[in-house]
Structure 1
Amino acid sequence: MSEELLINVTPRETRVALVENGMPQEVHIERASRRGYVGNIYRGRVQRVMPGMQAAFVEIGLERAAFLHASDILRPPPALADGNGDPPAPAPTPSITELVREGQEITVQVAKDPIGSKGARLTTQLSIPSRYLVLLPYSQVIGVSARIEDDAERARLKGIMADLMAPSGMGCIVRTNAEGQGEPALAEDVDYLLRAWELVQVGSQRARAGQRIYEDLPLPLRALRDLLNSDIEKVRVDSLDTFERMCDFASQFTPDLADRLEHYPGDVPIFDLYGVEDEIQRAMRREVLLKSGGHLVIDQTEAMTTVDVNTGSFLGQRNLEETVYRTNLEAAQAVARQLRLRNLGGIVIIDFIDMVDPEHRRQVLRTLEKALSRDHARTNVHDFSPLGLVEMTRKRTTESLERQLCEPCAHCGGRGSIKTAETVTYEIFREITRAVRQFEASQLMVLASPKVVSRVLEEDSAAVAELEEFLGKSIRFQADDQYAQEQYDVVLL
């Protein structure tokens, strides 16, 4: 599979696209005015303790206080074994009031960016990532990414890391990129992480509440650290200055892959050349067309994302069950790609077209899981429910692509629909009646959108005449382009 990383840099915005076989799969955006906070470490002050929520709100210098749950607060490790030599039972989470108090200063790390109306999610279980590892300063666990499936390789990496981490007394997680790496490369990462942790400790002692102690890398360097692997054939950057900084970073941390970086000097914008701009525009739409003629309808809500699969114009060549099966197979791959491209997370409900054959259901589910296996975010897929729905989760740490690029519609307030001209007309009639009963006036003037006024004068002129006769008042209507369809004013003259 051919993979490329495309990096588009402008003075106020940086965008990274991961392209597989010519198709954009992921888009990451960072703006100078609104950089993400995930991974940053702050010195915070506990603002409020909420025993009923088992949580506290912590001031870390952001617009909204951040959220710290009791389960995310570091506690002393339990004893290794009980008197019988058996491992101890997991200790219950203490009350939040036993863990923190109002006014207390603590060092915290952002685990999730502010999303919607929610503040950032925090943890005191700090971690620092590098190219191949994630340092766990308060743990002695050596873990290996589940994506490294070969048992011998997992054992080799775990053995190397156990030796390298033993002097520090800390733990780590071995990332997928470490597969096949030798001890020297891993040792370099350990040295880097220990230096970084030393700086965090010094900063934690000196920082005041609300100050940032550690900041994650900017997006272009983060892309090299997190996304660049042996499958990536090229990394193309359209900014010479950023290209040079990335080369310095790569030569220090990933020298074996540094030759894959390439400066793109072309006149055609790099995202246009690879069709990424068009794909971003399509990702803003609810409907996703499938090659077979079917389509998906994707709706993102506060609680979850729903995906509806429809056959559309696809009629198939054999029978209905075969048509449904083929459409669902294609939809499973398309859903996995759209979740990555749109960065949709949390709970996802997929309504595949009903299938009678259990084997067809198994194949569709297997296709979905295989397509999701390339996703960098953690996913968890459940079997078909009794209602024929597939429930899954995808780890969410940042806002979706749509919510990064869009805002609620000024006319409908984010509802996705507006009142019809007929509905607004009858609201105006009721408002006129209400106004005349409350205030004295010889005549009234209504200001409204051209579409509403046109309807009143053409289709409801008889109703206006009846209302004038009933109220004994003259009513004039005036169209104003500044009024949205749901807006109007009734003026007493």
Structure 2
Amino acid sequence: MPPSLINEDILINATNFETRVALLENGVVQELHIEHNIQQSMVGNIFLGKVLRILPGLQSAFVDIGLDRSAFIHVSDLRENRNEKSQTNTTIPIEKLIFAGQHILTQVIKDQIGTKGARLSTQLSIAGRILVYMPLDICHIGISQKIQNEEDREALKIKIQSLTTGQKGGFIARTQAENATNEDILIDLKYLNTLWNRIIASTKCHNAPSIIYQDLDLAQRVMRDIVTSNTKTIKIDSKQTTTKLIEWSKIFNPSIQHKIQYYGEERAIFEIANIDQEIDTALSKKVKLKSGGYLIIEQTEALTTIDVNTGGFIGGKNFKETIFKTNLEATNAIARQLRLRNLGGIIIIDFIDMDDQYHKNAVLNELKKSISKDRTKTTIGDFSKLGLIEMTRKRTRDSLISKLCEPCNVCNSNGMIKTTRTICYEILREILQESKQFNPKEFKIIASQKIIDMFLEENHHLSNLCDQIKKPVSLIVENRYNQEEYDIVLL
């Protein structure tokens, strides 16, 4: 669908403990952003850090920036190397650039994910609405890759060069710069200079480790990064947040001020477009397709697999046509789920096998077209010999499931639990083994209602056991126990 035909609406559910943002395209939820006020993203924050240890073999270093886990920096993220590589295409070893105990000004470029600490860079950048300023970089002008027309890129580069004459550091023009006036760019430039001067002043009165600059909160980042000319409305269910965003827009983006609206209706804002229901779907493995087919999405730490199935779909003229239509429908659903769930890293897609090369090409092209709307960088390969498509999507923040869920104590993160019959047989074996070592008067089984019901329904097993060990066995229900929990008491 051409960008001009996409109508975007942004819904913001803001409370004093959490902010949730939903991006709707033509009434359908495409992206979800959630930030807990006690777990705000660190990306963009600038810290005065202390180097703890150099790892020459990995060309990395651990840095204390005051978080619960040490952050790390790779040699490629040191500004000296970025500047050197752009001129001579060589890399200086990390042990020649920094040393243990050194205080360095760093910026978080990737949040802590799982057991990995935050990733840092000394190539500092400050994002405005139109420009990204890199004050410590060599003087240069970069243009966003999303501005693809070469003539437009060159004209924009010349314009920004003329407006930043005499300015130290480098600049990158964001996509918003394409339609920005000279006045807009100068306002953004003034804001970035003021911000950088405050950061420099702050470093002089802080000791390492300490935070020097904190990036915008989620609602403000949405105003800066997500709102486009396609955005029709920005609805917020908090008067305080609405006022804050209007004041922010007056300074940094006056053109969007009229789009910001306070939502004060009794119906919860996320009930629009059934967003809470969409969140539940995005946390499950199975995603139903309208045709009757479905996706199975399995997420692991290393990669994500997506399996496409026809399910109950029999709508095609023949079996090949049914498979083709299911795969075509799946491409749009996959692109949407990648954005909804914020899946990153390596992604393997197992479409239903197709023999027709025309069908394969059509499915691959439709997948690329659907994913082209994604703001996050992706790369898509061709069909492999095994009929799989491999792709990557840049990790920018935690996935939705890791943000909202935790490992299951019942199944030990296996995604499955033992059946009631399996547990009952385990109990019988354990009692049999205990009877050989001890000589109690009675055995007592304490377990969940389902386990006790199974023993009662198939009581011949328990009866045979009692005859075998020549001891009585009693049953007690403990409603607090899950299906796999039980105790065997010897009396």
- After TM superposition, the score normalised by the length of structure 1 is 0.93
Structure 2: unaligned runs, 5 residues or longer: 1-5
The equivalent residue for 2:136 is 138
The equivalent residue for 1:84 is none
Q: Which runs of 4+ in 1 moved over 6 A?
A: none
**Separation in structure 1 between the aligned mates of residue 48 and residue 28 of structure 2, nearest angstrom:** 42
The equivalent residue for 1:483 is 481
Alignment of 1:382-397 (within 5 A): 382-397=381-396
Amino acid at match of 1:78: E
**Stretch deviating more after TM superposition (431-440 or 365-374):** 431-440
The equivalent residue for 2:125 is 127
User: Which one of the candidate residues 4, 7, 26 is aligned to 1:2?
Assistant: 7
Amino acid at match of 2:222: A
User: Which one of the candidate residues 29, 39, 43 is aligned to 1:38?
Assistant: 43
- Structure 2 CA distance for partners of 1:184 and 1:9, relative to 1, 3 Å: same
**Separation in structure 1 between the aligned mates of residue 473 and residue 100 of structure 2, nearest angstrom:** 61
CA contact 2:84–2:91 (8 Å) conserved in 1 = no
Q: SS at the partner of 2:311? A: coil
The equivalent residue for 2:73 is 68
Amino acid at match of 2:142: G
Alignment of 1:94-493 (within 5 A): 94=93, 96-139=94-137, 140-459=139-458, 461-493=459-491
**Stretch deviating more after TM superposition (273-282 or 434-443):** 434-443
Q: CA shift at 1:137, angstroms? A: 2.1
- After TM superposition, the score normalised by the length of structure 2 is 0.93
Amino acid at match of 1:97: E
CA contact 1:112–1:120 (8 Å) conserved in 2 = yes
Q: CA shift at 1:437, angstroms? A: 4.2
**Separation in structure 1 between the aligned mates of residue 96 and residue 357 of structure 2, nearest angstrom:** 51
CA contact 2:85–2:91 (8 Å) conserved in 1 = no
- Structure 2 CA distance for partners of 1:415 and 1:465, relative to 1, 3 Å: same
- 1:82-112: CA deviations, max 9, x gaps? xxxxxx4x21462x43343333222221111
Q: What is the RMSD computed on CA atoms of the aligned residues?
A: 2.0
CA contact 2:51–2:100 (8 Å) conserved in 1 = yes
**Separation in structure 1 between the aligned mates of residue 56 and residue 362 of structure 2, nearest angstrom:** 47
The equivalent residue for 1:27 is 32
Amino acid at match of 2:201: V
Amino acid at match of 1:356: D
The equivalent residue for 1:85 is none
Amino acid at match of 1:173: I
**Separation in structure 2 between the aligned mates of residue 463 and residue 266 of structure 1, nearest angstrom:** 60
The equivalent residue for 2:23 is 18
Count of aligned pairs between the two proteins: 484
Q: CA shift at 1:438, angstroms? A: 4.2
**Separation in structure 1 between the aligned mates of residue 453 and residue 230 of structure 2, nearest angstrom:** 61
CA contact 1:71–1:93 (8 Å) conserved in 2 = no
- 1:267-309: CA deviations, max 9, x gaps? 2122113322222222122111112221111111111111111
CA contact 1:200–1:213 (8 Å) conserved in 2 = yes
Structure 1: unaligned runs, 5 residues or longer: 82-87
Q: CA shift at 1:337, angstroms? A: 0.9
Q: Does 1:48 align with 2:53?
A: yes
Q: SS at the partner of 2:283? A: coil
- 1:331-370: CA deviations, max 9, x gaps? 1111111111111111111111112222222221221112
Q: CA shift at 1:80, angstroms? A: 7.3
CA contact 2:316–2:325 (8 Å) conserved in 1 = no
Identity, % of aligned positions: 44
**Separation in structure 2 between the aligned mates of residue 305 and residue 219 of structure 1, nearest angstrom:** 26
